Structure 1
């Protein structure tokens, strides 16, 4: 499995399937987190999953890979009451996700944007 496939399987298992065992399968020991609201390791993420609302959703979009770095452009539905568009960046080492960065912004529909373009692939 290449790095892009690994990350897509991991994020699908976590945010779509809400599978807590995905952290053991796909994430490495001493997982480093760069989102300032989430501590290092996977424990906080394991605790977060059951708290997500029933109508929470994740939709992966464009995914790209450059060596051991994989980036996914995705849509988070009902993330703290808002729809968010994000780019999640992962560093993969020895077949495990070892590090994560993200950039998130609230989704603005095409009808409400200055340019008429959507923020996420249709």
Structure 2
């Protein structure tokens, strides 16, 4: 499930510590597993991570986030996430990404979602996740409106 070296190397910063690079690798492996639709592998590899979810519409736990992405991939088989910026600060790994649901929308910054994902990694495990989504077009706004709104955890957004 490891990403190819060139996928995230361009985001590397000389001031990052080896621990910060290791935290990025954990998150990158997780994200690449989801993108590759290797859902069972992701669950097996990360099932012992506490994974507290702060997106109120997704339950906590690795199985829940994987199931959410499994449903998304089934409904939108061309779904992908393209990291545009990555920041690492100690235990915090942040991806600023472009998410698209159709292959023809990749690279079009007027389609899909502008997403900021923030993960906290502690002792080699993903322990918390926050995200912020900005729909970029009418269909994405409509999809978010129709699928959002159900609170599935009490973790709060902060």
Q: Which TM-score bucket, shorter chain as reference?
A: 0.7 to 0.9
Q: TM-score, normalised by structure 2?
A: 0.59
Match 1:90 to one of 119, 122, 139: 119
Cα root mean square deviation, aligned = 2.0
Q: TM-score, normalised by structure 1?
A: 0.75
- Work out the number of aligned pairs and report it: 105
More helix by share: 2
Seen in structure 2, the aligned counterparts of structure 1 residues 31 and 40 have a Cα distance that, compared at 3 Å, is same
Seen in structure 2, the aligned counterparts of structure 1 residues 27 and 3 have a Cα distance that, compared at 3 Å, is farther
Question: Is residue 102 of structure 1 aligned with residue 131 of structure 2?
Answer: yes
Residue aligning to 1:69: 92
Kept in 2, the 8 Å contact 1:28–1:98? The answer is no
Kept in 2, the 8 Å contact 1:27–1:96? The answer is no
Kept in 2, the 8 Å contact 1:28–1:97? The answer is no
Seen in structure 2, the aligned counterparts of structure 1 residues 93 and 101 have a Cα distance that, compared at 3 Å, is same
Question: Is residue 10 of structure 1 aligned with residue 18 of structure 2?
Answer: no
- Provide the C-alpha distance between the structure 1 equivalents of 2:62 and 2:91, rounded to a whole number of angstroms: 20
For structure 2, list consecutive stretches of 5 or more residues without a partner in the other structure.
1-20, 103-110, 138-158
For structure 1, list consecutive stretches of 5 or more residues without a partner in the other structure.
109-122
More strand by share: 1
* Structure having the higher Rg: 2
Q: Residue 105 of structure 1: CA displacement?
A: 0.2
Seen in structure 2, the aligned counterparts of structure 1 residues 9 and 29 have a Cα distance that, compared at 3 Å, is closer
